[in-house]
Amino acid sequence: MANSYLVVSQENGVTIAALRTASLVDEPMIASVGNELFALVDERAVTKLMVDFRAVSFLSSQMIGVLVSLQKKSREIDGELVLAGMKPNLKKIFEITKLTKIMTFAKDNTEGMGKFKAF
């Protein structure tokens, strides 16, 4: 995709989707990112997906909704989703909303790789 906000790579059977933008608050951008992430699960049936948030400093509630939907889609195909490299101020939003109880977080990609179950 020419205007992709993701860089997708593979490492040890895990698909890593690294976000390339500091701000996920613009509705068209969020829709684009959501479509790209959903395609990984819906079309490519990725069962081990890590989303790398190192570049992201701001995100909206709409983006949180996208991530919750992605988590649901992933579970529907017996997949796993790990959110890695999220800045503390962003992770705090997930803690306040208690989404840390249903989503998996890692401080970085290295830790994230260890969060996936061995198949």
CATH for 37: 3.30.750.24
Please tell me the predicted confidence (pLDDT) of residue 119: 55
Give the chain's domain count. 1
Per-residue pLDDT at 47 exceeds 90:
yes
Residues 92/58, Cβ–Cβ less than 8 Å: no
Domain membership of residue 119 (yes or no) is: no
Residues 107/84, Cβ–Cβ less than 8 Å: yes
Please tell me the predicted confidence (pLDDT) of residue 117: 84
Q: Which of 1, 20, 18 is CA-nearest to residue 9?
A: 18
Q: How far is Cα 16 from Cα 3, in angstroms, rounded to an integer?
A: 18
Share of the chain above pLDDT 70, in %: 96
Per-residue pLDDT at 75 exceeds 80:
yes
Range of the domain at 77: 6-113
Longest dimension (CA), the chain: 37
